[in-house]
């Protein structure tokens, strides 16, 4: 059967599929830009001057609070996911007895975490962070009537996202640590460096591009993710303040809400288009950043050329 | 772990090792490294078989022998780099400056600062020239102008200062192969060790760079005890005061370099130094 297919066909078939996909992505980006362009006025970014109307009216919502909310939750997530991911990866790559059953089990569990559906993370965040941790804080404060921490909020959404994306950072960091040339490690040890000094002065600096790539991929995944936010703290409208224990506005969540449950689809269309455009460009930027960092992933190897 | 902590040379003679040179043509310098009945297993295979060797201070001792004879393993025992190899076991002992190296109470990081090591393949860190030389000093807590002074003097001692004085901030990986190896020597010398272990330090270099490294070793000999593994017979003959020949993990013969090369006692040594095998 295979023998009867002429040799010129397969390159064309595979090429056609690859280019079709590329064309799809390009038309998505260009199409979104084309549709959103007329609406990308100054007012679309910062809102109409006299903020008179109902905050639930999509005509009075603009990109600024959405971007601020997304930036805030992504930043907080990074604060949690970077140390958590790096410490786990350092343990797996450096200290866990290599090849041991314990190390393998640990690595497997981290990979399981990567495969857990995001809705499960959302429910877990609601149950654990909002209910157990937040509720516990409120109980400790002794005021259960008006919860301060025991409600969906920016902090809990960020921590939930951190748990969801930590496998990306762990895998990237472990890989980056392992690919630091053994020569460098041996050289440092021969100079009398302790394991911690080797880690801090040789391994982590040389693994930095790889670690940064992992962090950006984690941010990229989290910034477009909606489902966990449904349960843990995103809101259609807020009072405008950003606080750890308040709900927040979010780009991806806004797109989800406007496209599925807008009370007035015509009125919300401009905001929907500009939000989608912003979301697409955010992910483009993050992917470009990850690609640039990845190309620098092994500075030692690159410099030796 | 150590059967014996005193180092008399009786057992050496009883084992029939040609060690008479130590007494008959004893080098003037005091002893720096004493290796006594050192055996090393790498898993099930025995890499060293009861090796005993005296290395005098401020001299160059060359370790020669065919590939896989245990030269490099012997070197790595002396600064405990063998610890990095899983499954390596050591029996017998070695002392560097009177300190029992294999003693588990020894602080290995301190030991490695006293016993520097140069590798076959130069391995500078992907950092600036200055940071490379400063590495060992910084992890020892040195900083500021003292650091700068010591980096400069280390580079001078490695005969590299004139070439890199204007390039201290440049990546060390931009230096030539020979310069990188001298940088590694500067990096090792910077922490002021007593001993330099060199594992074929010039084997991966071009002839001009080899010449420079050899000149450098001759100069370093004034201040450091050098134990050097080499495959290069002429290099051993040119550079070393004492030569030890290892074969299949066994120390076959040790003596003054000129006598090892001109009148070896053991037929295996003779075959090797005359190029009949290895």
Residue A5 lies in a domain: no
Residue A103 lies in a domain: yes
Q: Parallel, antiparallel, or unpaired for β B88-96 and B31-42? A: antiparallel
pLDDT at B34: 94
pLDDT band per the 50, 70, 90 thresholds, residue B19: very low
Residue A275 lies in a domain: yes
How many Cα neighbours within 13 Å face the side chain of A92? Answer: 26
Phi, psi of A86 (to 5 degrees): -70, -45
Owning domain of residue A230: 64-304
Output the CA–CA distances (angstroms, integers) from residue A88 to A78, A80, A96, A171, B266, in the order listed.
Answer: 15, 12, 10, 10, 56
Residues of A in contact with B112 (CB under 8 A): 189-192
- Residue B140 corresponds to which tokens in the numbers above? 């020892």
What 3-state DSSP class applies to B253?
A: strand
The closest CB to that of B79, out of A190, A193, A299, belongs to A190
> How close are the terminal C-alpha atoms of chain B, in Å?
34
Q: Give how many domains chain A has, as a whole number.
A: 1
Residue A24 lies in a domain: no
pLDDT band per the 50, 70, 90 thresholds, residue B5: very low
What pTM does this model have? Answer: 0.83
What 3-state DSSP class applies to B181?
A: helix
pLDDT at A48: 67
**Looking at the DSSP assignment, which residues form a beta bridge with residue B53?**
B35
Residue A21 lies in a domain: no
Interface of A with B in 188-227 (CB under 8 A): 188-194, 197, 201-202, 206
Nearest CA in chain A to B126: A300
Complex ipTM value: 0.86
pLDDT at A304: 38
Residue A59 lies in a domain: no
The closest CB to that of A189, out of B84, B124, B191, belongs to B84
Residue A196 lies in a domain: yes
Residues of B in contact with A197 (CB under 8 A): 139
Asked if B136's CB is within 8 angstroms of A191's CB, the reply is yes
Asked if A188's CB is within 8 angstroms of B135's CB, the reply is yes
pLDDT at A16: 96
Supply the CATH number for residue A238's domain. 1.10.3720.10
Residues of A in contact with B188 (CB under 8 A): 190-191
Q: Domains of chain B: which residue ranges?
A: 10-124+193-273
**Does B173 reach chain A within 8 Å, measured CB to CB?**
yes
Q: At what angle do helices A265-295 and A204-223 cross, to 10 degrees?
A: 170
Question: Rounded to a whole number, what is the distance in Å from the CA of B116 to chain A's nearest CA?
Answer: 7
Mean pLDDT of B117-135: 95
The closest CB to that of A206, out of B81, B126, B135, belongs to B126
pLDDT at A44: 80
Q: Could you tell me how far CA A6 lies from the centroid of its own chain?
A: 45
pLDDT at B104: 86
Size of interface A-B (CB pairs under 8 A): 67
pLDDT band per the 50, 70, 90 thresholds, residue B28: low
CATH number for region B10-124+193-273: 3.40.50.300
The beta strands (E) that lie in chain B are given as 31-42, 45-56, 60-64, 88-96, 99-100, 115-118, 195-199, 225-229, 242-247, 250-256
Asked if A202's CB is within 8 angstroms of B109's CB, the reply is no
What residues contact A107, with CB distance under 8 A and at least 6 apart? A92
- List per-residue pLDDT tens for chain A, 305 residues long: 777 888 888 889 999 999 999 999 999 999 999 999 998 888 788 776 555 456 666 667 788 889 999 999 999 999 999 999 999 999 999 999 878 899 999 999 999 999 999 999 999 999 999 999 999 999 888 867 788 899 999 999 999 999 999 999 999 999 999 999 999 999 999 999 999 999 999 999 999 999 999 999 999 999 889 999 999 999 888 877 789 999 999 999 999 999 998 888 888 888 899 999 999 999 899 888 888 887 876 554 444 33
| Residue among B34, B20, B31, B173 nearest B95 (CA) | B34
pLDDT band per the 50, 70, 90 thresholds, residue B11: very low
pLDDT at B245: 95
Mean pLDDT of B97-118: 92
**Does A183 reach chain B within 8 Å, measured CB to CB?**
yes
pLDDT at A239: 75
Residue A26 lies in a domain: no
Question: Rounded to a whole number, what is the distance in Å from the CA of B113 to chain A's nearest CA?
Answer: 5
Work out the percent of chain B whose per-residue pLDDT is above 70: 90
The closest CB to that of B113, out of A192, A202, A304, belongs to A192
What Rg, from alpha-carbon coordinates, does chain B have? 19
**Does A72 reach chain B within 8 Å, measured CB to CB?**
no
């Amino acid at each position: 059967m295979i023998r009867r297919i002429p040799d010129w066909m397969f390159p064309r078939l595979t090429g056609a599929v690859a280019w079709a996909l590329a064309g799809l992505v390009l038309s998505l980006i260009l199409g979104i830009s084309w549709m959103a362009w007329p609406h990308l006025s100054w007012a679309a970014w910062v809102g109409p001057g006299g903020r008179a109307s109902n905050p639930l009216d999509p005509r009075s919502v603009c990109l600024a609070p959405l971007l601020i909310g997304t930036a805030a939750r992504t930043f907080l997530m990074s604060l949690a996911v970077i140390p958590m991911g790096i410490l786990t990866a350092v343990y797996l790559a450096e200290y866990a007895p290599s090849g041991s059953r314990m190390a393998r089990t640990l690595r497997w569990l981290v990979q399981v975490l990567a495969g857990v559906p995001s809705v499960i993370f959302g429910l877990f965040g609601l149950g654990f962070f909002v209910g157990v941790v937040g509720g516990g804080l409120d109980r400790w404060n002794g005021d259960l009537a008006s919860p301060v921490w025991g409600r969906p909020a920016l902090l809990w959404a960020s921590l939930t996202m951190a748990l969801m994306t930590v496998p990306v950072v762990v895998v990237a960091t472990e890989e980056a640590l392992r690919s630091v040339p053994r020569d460098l490690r041996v050289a440092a040890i021969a100079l009398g460096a302790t394991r911690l000094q080797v880690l801090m002065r040789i391994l982590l600096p040389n693994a930095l591009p790889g670690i940064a790539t992992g962090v950006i991929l984690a941010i990229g995944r989290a910034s477009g993710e909606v489902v966990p936010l449904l349960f843990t703290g995103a809101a259609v409208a807020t009072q405008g303040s950003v606080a750890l224990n308040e709900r927040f506005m979010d780009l991806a969540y806004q797109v989800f809400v406007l496209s599925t449950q807008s009370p007035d689809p015509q009125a919300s269309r401009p905001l929907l288009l500009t939000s989608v455009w912003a979301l697409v460009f955010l992910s483009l930027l993050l992917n470009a950043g990850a690609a640039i960092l990845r190309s620098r992933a092994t500075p030692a190897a690159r410099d030796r050329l | 772990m150590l059967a014996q902590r005193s180092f008399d040379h009786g057992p050496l003679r009883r084992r029939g090792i040609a060690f008479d040179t130590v007494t008959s043509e004893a080098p003037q310098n005091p002893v720096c490294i004493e290796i006594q009945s050192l055996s090393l297993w790498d898993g099930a295979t025995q890499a060293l078989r009861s090796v005993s060797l005296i290395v005098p201070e401020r001299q160059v001792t060359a370790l020669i022998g065919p590939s896989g004879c245990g030269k490099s393993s012997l070197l790595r025992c002396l600064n405990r780099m063998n610890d990095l190899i899983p499954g390596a076991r050591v029996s017998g002992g070695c002392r560097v400056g009177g300190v029992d190296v294999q003693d588990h109470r020894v602080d290995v990081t301190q030991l490695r600062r006293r016993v520097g090591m140069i590798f076959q393949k130069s391995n500078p860190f992907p950092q600036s020239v200055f940071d490379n030389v400063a590495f060992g000093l910084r992890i020892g807590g040195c900083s500021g102008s003292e650091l700068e002074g010591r980096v400069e003097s280390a580079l001078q001692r490695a005969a590299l200062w004139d070439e890199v004085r204007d390039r201290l901030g440049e990546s060390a990986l931009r230096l030539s192969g020979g310069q990188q190896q001298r940088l590694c020597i500067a990096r090792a010398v910077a922490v002021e060790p007593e001993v330099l272990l060199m594992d074929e330090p010039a084997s991966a270099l071009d002839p001009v760079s080899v010449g420079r490294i050899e000149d450098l070793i001759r100069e370093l000999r004034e201040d450091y005890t050098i134990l050097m593994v080499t495959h290069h017979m002429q290099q051993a003959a040119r550079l070393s005061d004492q030569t030890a020949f290892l074969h299949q993990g066994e120390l076959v013969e040790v003596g003054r370099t000129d006598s090892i090369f001109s009148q070896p006692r053991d037929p295996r040594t003779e075959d090797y130094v005359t190029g009949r095998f290895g």
